[in-house]
Amino acid sequence: MTNSFLDALDPADAERVLAAGRSVTVPQGWSPITAGTPADKAYLITEGEVSVRRSGTEIAILGPGSVVGEAAIVNRTLRSATVVALTPLRVVHFTSERIEELSEEIPAFGAALRAAAAERVQGG
């Protein structure tokens, strides 16, 4: 995989971000994010891969270090894509409220989140 979303943060801030979320597992085949639903959560993938699908067409495969669900939170929109676990996943779950708090508390996190969302919107 390419760089981690957390690479934009210093190590102490990266640890704070990871500690602020809740580690969860997602079984293969499940969809933690579904198109057309409210932007109430985001995930940082720590293990496994997901397929990002728009209107049934795969637009990306993402793995460890990638964040999913951030674009709808940042842009205050409904989800534009569905995310499906291609493998069993370990992710860090963040509520939209926690994402907003972390963005204020850790400016580099907010900047990285906005950059990831902008890249996602341009790429998709």
| pLDDT tens, position by position, 24-76 | 999 999 999 999 999 999 999 999 999 999 999 999 999 999 999 998 998 89
Structure tokens at 13: 């801030």
pLDDT at position 1: 39
Pairing of strands 22-26, 67-68: unpaired
- Whether the full predicted model's pTM is greater than 0.85, yes or no, is yes
Domains of the chain, first to last:
5-123 (2.60.120.10)
pLDDT at position 8: 86
pLDDT at position 123: 55
pLDDT at position 88: 98
DSSP 3-state of 79: coil
DSSP 3-state of 106: coil
- Which residue in this structure is represented by tokens 């293969």? 28
Residue 122: pLDDT band with limits 50, 70, 90: low
pLDDT at position 90: 97
Starting at the edge strand that comes first in sequence, how are the strands of the sheet with 57-62 ordered?
57-62, 50-54, 82-85
Q: What is the pLDDT of residues 71-87, one digit of tens each?
A: 899 889 999 999 999 99
* Residue of 41, 44, 43 lying closest to 97 (CA atoms): 41
pLDDT at position 15: 94
pLDDT at position 121: 64
